[in-house]
Amino acid sequence: MAYKTKDLEKQALKAIEKYKLFFIEDIVSYLPCSRQTFYTHQLDKLDSIKEALQKVKTDIKVSMRSKWYKSENATLQISLMKLISSEDERKRLSQTYNDLTTNGNDINISPIEWVE
């Protein structure tokens, strides 16, 4: 069966919005074509599809962060804090932070130096 790229694109965009899809690979399951046809039509390279997937991801991230903020669950609150904190705050929150530098500066030791 012959498919038109524009028709498949429209169906893909509807599926992304309706089912809140995150990944290109998931779209094929909601289309009337095979995986090979999907890639032959290069639907995976269309900006409209990439943008629709990114929008869903962003909407979900914002929604989750909002729920974490409103939650009484300490684990969620710490996770959110780690996401939004400065580097110094993140270090203070971390229970396993190890500074592998000297006072925040990189250790710059030259290879073995011979002393005579």
Query: Range of 41's domain?
Result: 5-86
Per-residue pLDDT tens digits for 15-37 = 999 999 999 999 999 999 999 99
Model's pTM, two decimal places? 0.71
Per-residue pLDDT tens digits for 61-116 = 999 999 999 999 999 998 899 889 998 888 777 767 666 666 666 666 666 666 66
Q: Give residue 7's identity as a one-letter amino acid code.
A: D
Give domain status of residue 69, yes or no: yes
Give domain status of residue 59, yes or no: yes
Q: How many domains are there within the chain?
A: 1
SS3 46: coil
Cα 12 to Cα 45, 60, 86: the distances in Å are 13, 19, 39
Give domain status of residue 57, yes or no: yes
Give domain status of residue 111, yes or no: no
Give domain status of residue 58, yes or no: yes
Q: Which two tokens stand for residue 104?
A: 């925040």
Give domain status of residue 99, yes or no: no
- Cβ neighbours of 43 (radius 10 Å): 22
